[in-house]
């Protein structure tokens, strides 16, 4: 597994379901999130799409499956909150459709052992007021 060029931490790779691809970086079929700086980067699709991503390395209570993938992509879009507002709204809907409490999850990530490359707490606050 490749590591994050910024933090030297192993990335958490995941396949992007077709329905979410337009919200993925570069519209990629696979992406990866750094569990430390939370950068989300596109990846070459490798391996079967059904494998369970290790989102537990971001936070113990990070949602699994498609809900987790939607939240991971949402975290990738958060630094460009105003620009990507439509994507963020769609990803939130997808996550909630998978049974995820998005605001609770984001709060947990704020409190997790992360070192975000952007002002996560501020963006989560704006997320709440823009889309809450």
Return the number of the residue (45 or 118) whose C-beta is nearest Zn ion. 118
Element (H, E) at 131: helix 120-131
CB of 59 to Zn ion, least distance (A): 15
User: Can residue 37 be called a binding residue for Zn ion (CB under 5 A)?
Assistant: yes
Q: What's the closest the beta carbon of residue 113 comes to Zn ion, in angstroms?
A: 13
User: Is 11 among the residues that bind Zn ion (CB under 5 A)?
Assistant: no
CA dihedral defined by 102, 108, 109, 111, rounded to 10 degrees? 150
* Residue 4 touches Zn ion, criterion: CB under 5 A: yes
- Tell me the longest C-alpha to C-alpha distance in the chain: 38
Residue 24 binding Zn ion, by CB under 5 A: no
What's the CA gap between 72 and 128, in Å, rounded?
Answer: 17
Question: Could you say whether residue 131 binds Zn ion (CB under 5 A)?
Answer: no
88 vs 126: CA distance, rounded Å:
12
Pick the piece of the chain touching Zn ion (CB under 5 A) from 34-42, 53-61, 72-80, 91-99.
Answer: 34-42
Contact criterion met (CB below 8 Å) for 114 and 35 = yes
Binding-site residue total for Zn ion (CB under 5 A)? 6
Q: Is 116 in the site for Zn ion (CB under 5 A)?
A: no
What is d(CA 24, CA 77) in angstroms, rounded to the nearest whole number?
Answer: 9
Given a contact cutoff of 8 angstroms between Cβ atoms, the answer to whether 16 and 73 are in contact is yes
Q: Can residue 6 be called a binding residue for Zn ion (CB under 5 A)?
A: yes
- Binding status of residue 36 toward Zn ion by CB under 5 A: yes
**Contacting positions for Zn ion (CB under 5 A):** 4, 6-7, 34, 36-37
């Amino acid at each position: 597994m490749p590591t994050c060029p910024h933090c030297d931490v192993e990335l958490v790779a995941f396949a992007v379901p077709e329905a979410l691809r337009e919200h993925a970086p570069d519209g990629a079929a696979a992406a990866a999130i750094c569990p430390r700086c939370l950068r989300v980067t596109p990846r070459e699709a490798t391996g079967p799409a059904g494998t369970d991503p290790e989102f537990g390395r971001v936070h113990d209570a990070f949602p699994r499956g498609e809900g987790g993938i939607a939240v991971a992509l949402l975290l990738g879009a958060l630094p460009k909150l105003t620009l990507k507002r439509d994507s963020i709204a769609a990803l939130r809907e997808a996550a909630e459709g998978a049974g995820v409490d998005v605001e609770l999850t984001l709060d947990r990530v704020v409190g997790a052992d992360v070192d975000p490359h952007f002002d996560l707490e501020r963006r989560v606050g704006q997320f709440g007021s823009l889309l809450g």
